[in-house]
Structure 1
Amino acid sequence: MLTVNKLIPRGQGLAAVLLKRAARVELDWDVRQKSRFDATDSSGRTIGVFLPRGTLVRGGDVLVAEDGSLIQVVAAAQPVLVVRHCSEHGSAFDLLRAAYHLGNRHVPLELRPDRIQLEPDHVLADMLRQMHLIVSEEQVAFEPEGGAYAAGGHGHAHAGHDHGHAHQADHDHGHAHGHAHEPVHVHGPDCQHGHAHAPAAPASRGKPLGIAVTAAPAPHVHGPGCGHDH
């Protein structure tokens, strides 16, 4: 058995000539939603797939075997309920309503602009027909949504998009500064300024920022050398 423990979504980054030479393996959704399974590829080799738990295998993905060989996944045709709206008795909005009710039942759905696809279920089929939808059973590949918070695997992710705080590096405390701040001058014994230093005013609580606070003059202290005639 040939072990596989790596998957390349949609074969991204692989040259077309490599994909053309790769073996194929046809898998239905029941198998592809598992992260560990056995299968036989188009070369007759038995492969044992061991992927991280939660990984979904999609049609077009490429499996990488332990010997470096590539195996392209093909979504096998399988029985699927195809749901379309009735142009005479309804509208495309009926498909949205149907997706809502099926989603409440946690039914895996493949969403298309003009139809919904799900695995066969006669109870759900009857419910959909009562909603004036057209339900037919067809033999097609099934690729249900992976869910917005699906761990592992991959769904319809958009490469290059970051919907979080992409500008974190440029912003500090919610704003960016377009200029440098000059260092604050500190007065001390060696500052060489020709001015008298008044004691710092006590901090005034409740003062708005940006309002200058004038320091009170230093009180005169009477003593033997003050020069005053008391």
Structure 2
Amino acid sequence: MLVIHHRRPPQPHWDEELYLTFEARSKSRLRTFTARGEEVGLFLERGQSPLADGECLEAQDGRIVRICALPETLLHITCGSPVELTRAAYHLGNRHVALQVGGGWLRILEDHVLKAMLDQLGARAELVEAPFQPEHGAYGGGHHHSHHGDTDFNYGPRLHHFGVRL
């Protein structure tokens, strides 16, 4: 079994490839197989951003493994104006939907309930097959809610300093 503990930036050369959906790229623990069929055990640091298409991993034996995002069934969302697209993004964000943002479009994993909502908003949502690489989030560190005294998950915002006057 190819055992992997370390993430690496994209490399010009690699030894193996892993083809993974967004859900699989979001896991820190995963049993899967390389493109050539070799069994792989991922044991990555928890709380990190999902693996990105083209990112590399380093196996215990020194081999470099390149991540390849598998195409998935997505809703490709466009609107008649930037205001309408912003409104669609707002309503999707309000539902904590993983969202990929592009030039004049949004993409989400296919969901018939969200498609109905988008239709009501006047957005055009068409099915496409493409790799899915949604925004990770402004605050980083995964999605969680900190509570007073929870030292493991008690972090300050990275974008804002609420209550601090500069």
* Paired residue type of 1:123: V
Distance 1:24 1:103 in 2: 32
Give the match's secondary structure for 2:51.
coil
Query: Would the aligned equivalents of 1:4 and 1:48 in 2 still touch at CA under 8 Å?
Result: yes
**Residues 84 and 135 of structure 1 are in contact (CA less than 8 Å); yes or no, is this contact kept in structure 2?**
yes
* Counterpart in the other structure of 2:59: 65
Q: In the alignment, does 2:67 pair up with 1:77?
A: no
Residue aligning to 1:137: 127
| Residue equivalent to 1:149 | 139
Match of 2:41 among 39, 44, 48: 48
RMSD: 2.0
Q: Distance in 1 between matches of 2:35 and 2:96?
A: 34
How many aligned positions are there?
Answer: 145
CA drift of 1:150 comes to 1.6
Q: Which TM-score applies when normalising by structure 1?
A: 0.59
Residue by residue, what CA displacement relative to the aligned partner does 1:189-215 show, whole Å, maximum 9, x if unpaired?
xxxxxxxxxxxxxxxxxxxxxxxxxxx
Counterpart check, 1:38 vs 2:28 = no
Query: Matches of 1:136 and 1:42 in 2, distance apart?
Result: 30
CA deviation map 1:55-78 (0-9, x unaligned): 221111101100000110000001
Aligned to 1:114: 104
User: Partner residue of 1:125?
Assistant: 115
Which amino acid in 1 is paired with 2:19?
E
Structure 2 segments unaligned to the other structure (5+ residues): 143-158, 161-166
CA shift, 1:114, in A, is 1.6
Matched residue, 2:149: none
Tell me the CA shift for residue 42 of structure 1: 2.2
The whole-number CA distance in structure 2 between the counterparts of 1:107 and 1:44 is: 33
Larger Rg: 1
The 5 Å alignment of 1:89-104 reads 90-104=80-94
| TM-score normalised according to structure 2 size | 0.81
3-state DSSP of counterpart to 1:100: helix
Deviation at 1:92, TM superposition (A): 2.5
CA distance in 2, matches of 1:39, 1:59: 16
Q: How far apart, CA to CA, are the structure 2 residues paired with 1:43 and 1:81?
A: 31
- Counterpart-to-counterpart distance in 1, 2:89 and 2:28: 27
More strand as a share of residues: 2
Contact 1:34 1:54 in 2 (8 A): no
